[in-house]
Structure 1
Amino acid sequence: METNVLSLLLMPLQPAHNDPFQTLALLRTQVMSLSLAAETNLDPAFLAACVDASYPSLSYVSSSSSVSSSSSDDTVASPTASLIPSPTATLVSSTGLAASKTRFVSEEEHMSHLLAKYPAAITDFYGSGTSCVYKTGPAWPVAQGPQSQKIMRAARPIYKHGIAPIWLDTAWSIVAELETLQVDWNAVDPLAYANAGQAALICEFVITIGVKPRSLAYEAAVAAAEVVDGILDVAGFPEIQVAFIESVYRRQGKLMGFDPTYELQGIPGLRKPFTPTLGLAIAPYKLPYYEGTGGLYLRLNTDQSDKRTVLLTCAHVAHPAPLFDNQEYTRKFDSQPREDIILLGGGSFDDSVKDIMKFIGYQSRAIASWETPLRRIPEPAESEAVDVTAKRKELTYLITAAKDKIRAANELHSHVTKNHTTTASRLFGFILHCAKIEVGSDGFMYDWALIQIDDDKVEMKDFKGNQVFVGGNKTAADWEDYMFAQLHDRHDFHVPDDLLLQIQDYVREAEFRDPQNYDVHNAKNLLAVKNGRTTGTTFGRVNGLESITRHHSEQGIETKAVEIIVCGYDTKTGENEKFSDEGDSGSMVVGRDGRIIGLLMGGGGSTAKTDKTYITPFYALKKEIEKKYPKAFVLPADA
């Protein structure tokens, strides 16, 4: 059916707020979309829906959406994934120090109470969404005047501190005292802090103790801090500060090939989610809304006759609680029923399709913005000024390039919606082994599983193996600016070809303590990158001291484990990007040289944010995997 200008103008528009300028801009762009649809061979209604999707502050109703809003077939990806409780959410039991629960206390009332007792409750860790119940030591600086709460804090790693040789013993002593006092803690983290974007530290060492929100009264926090101070004083480090913060710990057809070499700018990031490239979003076939990330490809045997390829992820991704008991599982025989795994669970598939539509919408709006000034430029003339000719060429080039991108994105959208809409069409392997989630003799948390890949679901000629895509939401310039920020630290400088970083080897324990990279502030760090299901490509800094975390499983079983924090990478602009979020569990964290750092296990922060990311270092996890598969090895580049 032919769509005319009037029908486009009459498409349902329901702005989330009354902004006449944005609404008029949208109407103008939809009128423009008629001619653009013809030139790019897109359905006009679909193009209009893409334009709608590209406005982040408005919500629209359009019958042309390519993703079903409801379905009785549970094998079809549903946009209601966000309504399903996340398997990574952790409930922490209350303690004897918990505030009274005889009546509901609003968030505003709770914050008012915190501020009345401790005025720096918001400013101490501003930007993380974390409230501070109490902190020892000197007050941290705040901006004066009406913007006093606008200084964003950034966690920084600690290396080569004098307490390092006795840190874990000290931390376990702190944990023991906290439990004697019945403090409902979930993490003991050793960190430094700075104002985001600044090199100078405002605190060289603070032990942040995460407690369940609303569980610890101010007076109890002060008393507990005095006990921790006593431990630090005996250890010889009375200057270390202690902070009690409100926080939770969270466990967070053939597939398409991926070759960004010849693709137009922006398209590889849209294609990547539908490929087996590392950082792939995965979910159990029967539970498509319990999503995580696949982080590393392994081979199980050095015997050339055994060509099995397996994908390393977290056990809580393969067997999400409470739907599975925490028990070891291995598929030993072909006669055993398969526990299938799919690429892209319900939420990830919906988001990835919408991203394609948004991209088309952005390009359409850009074309509209370029065509207006182009129409004002007169027809070419022999005597016209050089800058007029140059401007015409520039705008014409931009418009042509954008139209080419729209065509490429539309082809991708068509392929995806025709071939990968059902969960069955995205099946790519099965659970070979799922370890019991438990703390090892070394204190580290071991939470891992292996997914055996179906060879017939992967185009091996385009299979990138152990290459991490560090593009998408990051550029080659970002890689250079943040991973090789200092000129004196470029002995191994490189920008990965096509932004695909080849994984090779792993970082040894000694380098966690004594890193050799330099960040934007010219401070020594172990710099890290990961690509995950939720946050895509992010950069971070790995801490040099271990944290102790406490987790209560869905079955109420408590575990305390040693883990290592990866801090977000704050830049000189004052931005402090988080390293991960729920759904990124199972991602592999690697160094700028491609060496493996660790497996992403979960995160901590306020109930709405992930401020800290926890990993199990690969130097430890490797030994655990080899106990089950002694000949397992990381899939090499030439496999």
Structure 2
Amino acid sequence: MDLSQLPIVFSKDQPDLQSPRSQTDAVGAGDGTPSDPASLTNPLTMEHTPFVVTDNMSKNYYKGLPSSPRLVASTHPSPAEPPSDLAASSVLKEIRVLRDHPLISVWDNGLAVGISLDLNMIGVNWTSLEALTIAKVGEESSGPATVWIGVESGALSYEEGSNVAHSILKYIVDQWHIPDCRVEIRESRVMRQTGNNLPNPVTSKSPTMELTPFVVIDDISESYYKGLPSNPCLIATTHPSTIDPPSGGQMEDQWGWEDRWWPDSGHSAVLKEIRALGDHSLASVWDKGLATSICEGLNTMHVNWTSLDALTIAKVGDESSGLATVWIGVEFGALSYEEGSNVAHRILQGIIGQWHIEDCRVEIRESRVMRQIGNKFLNLVHFNHATFTIRSPYTATLGSPISTKDRLWDEGTGGFYFSAGGNDSNIYLVTARHVVLPLGQDDNEEYEQPDDNKLRVVIHGTTSFDENLAAFDREIKEKEFVIKDIQDRIRLMKDKNDFVWVEARILEEKNLQMAKTELEQLNLLLKDIATHWEGAENRVFGELVWAPPIIPSTEPGRYTLDLAVIKIDPGMLDAENFLGNTVNLGKKYTPLELAQKVHLHSSSSPSFKIPGNRLVKLEDQVPEDALFNPPMRDADSKPCFIVFKNGGKTGMTFGKANNVSSFTRTCLAGQYRESKEWPVIATNQESGAFSAKGDSGSCVADIFGRVAGILTSGSGATESADVTYVTPISFIMQVLTKRFPQAHLSPTLVVPAGEGTSAT
């Protein structure tokens, strides 16, 4: 809708924003009761032109906020610095929680919904809606109450934005009798906070050939590899003469079958076994480029392959060595029999043929690369160990970056663990659905696939894995510099023999030995990561088992439903590496800084203590009635609710929960939908953003050591969020217990005698 075409003329009876209320609002003014709650106003009609933002003011008005969004409109422009020299004189601003204001009592009782309906009726492409205060950094006053509206970039001109802002303000004043507030509009988008650093892949194409090769059928597929340990299903073979056909089969002469067996004939399929390739011409070129060429060919054909081997497969008891076989494993359901035949012949004729290897075959089977005695989550180490922080993503503590194996460029964060209880011994991890099923890539229906088709989930996508390796390099170089620096100091003390210098040299030699030990610890872990975790298949830790559709909601007690459940693979967890829902605080903050973040006021004595090992065990959950009733006080003796999270992108951050709901408006399945959110803002201007893209799915906890919810999105003009949105744990558990009736947040491992670990 073109807002410039709306008949907007401003009336003379605009409320005086400097006075408590307009003279026309004498009845019920300020009581927060709408005179007509169902009445939603059109854009304000006044004779006087409202204040209109300029470009300079737009760019500088929100200086200091994490994403520095652009101001579109304000009904109360007095906080802005003079436009004459905004670039030089704009003040820093910060977001604060709204306290002790009439807005709070009516926000979730109809006002917020009314504003969203009004915006929809006007035709505004809005993205978020908050009630908070925005004040100058260092200013003691709390700042005016602000209804903060986010709109898509370019959705409104300054003039249109001003008209909309005044329309909303008039609705607030006239219908809800809240005069002492302002309305501001900024450009901001709601981000599902997954990393998305690579372009979408090309849509998979079915391989085609001019000549139709032999195509496997179900009976052959199921029996062909009988005798092998996993009895995989055959998808394709380029040498069907090794298949035992039915006697008198129509294709006997065409394919040269020698044996006379068919599943329906009453005979037994022959047993097969795998043998080493041995002395074959394939062996001489396999590691000299042929294997790499086959991998590239499979990738070019968009084949979701899992393994590539060169070996022989022969009949049990057959004295001959068997036919040399290029054996390709593909994911379950990745190729039909027809597609598999085309792929196999392309590999044989187009790639292997160029290497002049004739006496071999290509076979494709369904196969998954499985972790056996290999990777599991790394064990935790003591706080003073050099790898305490950098190994954290590979441990079972909360906050590891995650992705799906087939979309490594979309990254989010693992949330919290739960056990299903009863006879289910598995341990599950909750994250946001859009982390593992990106918006636009699925039909937003309930996800529940058969075992063979479940999505595999990995620690680290491509970007976060590379960033982790880069962090290793930085720490190693820094440690090498420290060693050199200490060695230089020791050399300078070499000829100093008095007591003070001797004592100093002894201390430096101890420091040198410690630095060398730490360097060795870093190098050993880096070698382990590079050797055993580099391939995405080596970072698989579980599979997606269930994800309800994303459902926005503004109903009481409901919030954005955006969750997915991942089952942790057997063998990933053991008694040494799993401590339940535990957060590693890391070394980002000193003990004093941590204390200042959680103990803001002498009257607040939360049960949360800063453990010496920096591992915080989360127990219990935040009840819904605590979300908007802050349980503690800040340094100014005002009610507040401090929360924290360990995100895959921004790591450990602390924030302050707002005491009124926010609302978001996002496009889902081609339609704009509104939803209520639990908002979290930065604790102050210096603390930085609470979250950024890549943090979706993170577990948010309060400083009483309770699970508060999972992070689902944030609003801002850049990848840093000015306001972060969280789905409360109370709502999540309502949904989870419908699927897992005995689900609980205190999973522990039990090791029965002679068996592996299980959950209770």
After TM superposition, the score normalised by the length of structure 2 is 0.64
Identity between Structure 1 and Structure 2 (%): 25
Shift of 1:326: 0.7
Q: Are residues 429 and 547 of structure 1, via their aligned partners in 2, closer, same or farther at CA, if it must alter by over 3 Å? A: same
Q: Name the residue aligned to 1:344.
A: 460
Alignment check: 8 A CA contact 2:80 2:90 kept = no
Deviations 1:395-446 (A, max 9, x none): 4443332222111100100111111111111111111101100124445110
Shift of 1:377: 3.1
Alignment check: 8 A CA contact 1:159 1:545 kept = no
Shift of 1:240: 1.0
Alignment check: 8 A CA contact 1:484 1:493 kept = no
The farther-off stretch of 355-364 and 504-513 is 504-513
Shift of 1:194: 3.1
The farther-off stretch of 348-357 and 255-264 is 255-264
Alignment check: 8 A CA contact 2:60 2:90 kept = no
The farther-off stretch of 114-123 and 417-426 is 114-123
Q: Name the residue aligned to 2:548.
A: 435
1:511 aligns with 2:631: no
Deviations 1:101-135 (A, max 9, x none): xxxxxxxxxxxxx9636736513444432111121
Q: Are residues 451 and 481 of structure 1, via their aligned partners in 2, closer, same or farther at CA, if it must alter by over 3 Å? A: same
Q: Are residues 353 and 189 of structure 1, via their aligned partners in 2, closer, same or farther at CA, if it must alter by over 3 Å? A: same
- In the alignment, the residues of structure 1 paired with residue 86 and residue 674 of structure 2 have an alpha-carbon distance, to the nearest angstrom, of 42
Alignment check: 8 A CA contact 2:383 2:614 kept = no
Q: Are residues 580 and 491 of structure 1, via their aligned partners in 2, closer, same or farther at CA, if it must alter by over 3 Å? A: closer
Counterparts of residues 379-394 of structure 1 (less than 5 Å): 379-381=495-497, 383-384=498-499, 386=500, 388-389=501-502, 391-394=504-507
- In the alignment, the residues of structure 1 paired with residue 97 and residue 708 of structure 2 have an alpha-carbon distance, to the nearest angstrom, of 15
Q: Name the residue aligned to 1:565.
A: 679
- In the alignment, the residues of structure 1 paired with residue 417 and residue 642 of structure 2 have an alpha-carbon distance, to the nearest angstrom, of 22
**Which of 696, 708, 713 is the matching residue for 1:585?**
696
Alignment check: 8 A CA contact 1:170 1:231 kept = no
**Which of 74, 83, 93 is the matching residue for 1:153?**
93
Alignment check: 8 A CA contact 2:4 2:160 kept = no
Q: Name the residue aligned to 2:28.
A: none
Find runs of 4+ consecutive structure 1 residues off by over 6 angstroms. 143-147
Q: Name the residue aligned to 2:71.
A: 132
Shift of 1:482: 0.7
- In the alignment, the residues of structure 1 paired with residue 464 and residue 4 of structure 2 have an alpha-carbon distance, to the nearest angstrom, of 37
- In the alignment, the residues of structure 2 paired with residue 98 and residue 343 of structure 1 have an alpha-carbon distance, to the nearest angstrom, of 50
Q: Name the residue aligned to 1:15.
A: none
Q: What 5-or-longer segments of structure 2 have no aligned partner? A: 6-51, 194-373, 750-759
Counterparts of residues 270-289 of structure 1 (less than 5 Å): 270-289=390-409
- In the alignment, the residues of structure 1 paired with residue 169 and residue 704 of structure 2 have an alpha-carbon distance, to the nearest angstrom, of 40
Q: Are residues 215 and 463 of structure 1, via their aligned partners in 2, closer, same or farther at CA, if it must alter by over 3 Å? A: same
Shift of 1:564: 1.6
Shift of 1:540: 0.4
1:309 aligns with 2:431: no
- In the alignment, the residues of structure 1 paired with residue 116 and residue 712 of structure 2 have an alpha-carbon distance, to the nearest angstrom, of 21
The farther-off stretch of 453-462 and 225-234 is 453-462
Alignment check: 8 A CA contact 1:193 1:201 kept = no
Q: Name the residue aligned to 1:449.
A: 564
Q: What 5-or-longer segments of structure 1 have no aligned partner? A: 1-94, 100-113
One-letter identity of the residue aligned with 2:639? K
Shift of 1:365: 2.3
1:293 aligns with 2:379: no
Q: Name the residue aligned to 2:514.
A: 401
Alignment check: 8 A CA contact 1:192 1:203 kept = yes
- In the alignment, the residues of structure 2 paired with residue 360 and residue 171 of structure 1 have an alpha-carbon distance, to the nearest angstrom, of 52
Q: Name the residue aligned to 1:177.
A: 118
- In the alignment, the residues of structure 1 paired with residue 723 and residue 681 of structure 2 have an alpha-carbon distance, to the nearest angstrom, of 6
Counterparts of residues 157-556 of structure 1 (less than 5 Å): 157-168=97-108, 169-196=110-137, 198=138, 200-201=140-141, 203-234=143-174, 235-252=176-193, 253-261=374-382, 263-264=384-385, 266-301=386-421, 303=422, 305-331=423-449, 334=451, 336-381=452-497, 383-384=498-499, 386=500, 388-389=501-502, 391-440=504-553, 441-442=555-556, 443-490=558-605, 492=607, 494-553=609-668, 555-556=669-670
Alignment check: 8 A CA contact 1:601 1:615 kept = yes
One-letter identity of the residue aligned with 1:324? D
- In the alignment, the residues of structure 1 paired with residue 512 and residue 413 of structure 2 have an alpha-carbon distance, to the nearest angstrom, of 37
One-letter identity of the residue aligned with 2:375? K
One-letter identity of the residue aligned with 2:676? V
After TM superposition, the score normalised by the length of structure 1 is 0.76
Aligned length in residues: 518
Q: Are residues 391 and 243 of structure 1, via their aligned partners in 2, closer, same or farther at CA, if it must alter by over 3 Å? A: farther
- In the alignment, the residues of structure 2 paired with residue 368 and residue 142 of structure 1 have an alpha-carbon distance, to the nearest angstrom, of 51
Alignment check: 8 A CA contact 1:548 1:562 kept = yes
Q: Name the residue aligned to 1:631.
A: 742
The farther-off stretch of 183-192 and 511-520 is 511-520
Q: Name the residue aligned to 2:57.
A: 119
Shift of 1:321: 2.5
Q: Are residues 637 and 471 of structure 1, via their aligned partners in 2, closer, same or farther at CA, if it must alter by over 3 Å? A: farther
Shift of 1:392: 3.5
Shift of 1:519: 3.5
- Please say which structure displays the higher CA radius of gyration: 2
Q: Name the residue aligned to 1:37.
A: none
- In the alignment, the residues of structure 2 paired with residue 171 and residue 125 of structure 1 have an alpha-carbon distance, to the nearest angstrom, of 26
Equivalent residue of 2:607, what SS?
coil
Q: Are residues 191 and 510 of structure 1, via their aligned partners in 2, closer, same or farther at CA, if it must alter by over 3 Å? A: same
Deviations 1:521-543 (A, max 9, x none): 54321100101110111000011
Q: Name the residue aligned to 1:603.
A: 714
The farther-off stretch of 183-192 and 123-132 is 123-132
Q: Name the residue aligned to 2:17.
A: none
- In the alignment, the residues of structure 1 paired with residue 394 and residue 636 of structure 2 have an alpha-carbon distance, to the nearest angstrom, of 37
One-letter identity of the residue aligned with 2:124? V
The farther-off stretch of 462-471 and 484-493 is 484-493
Shift of 1:183: 1.6
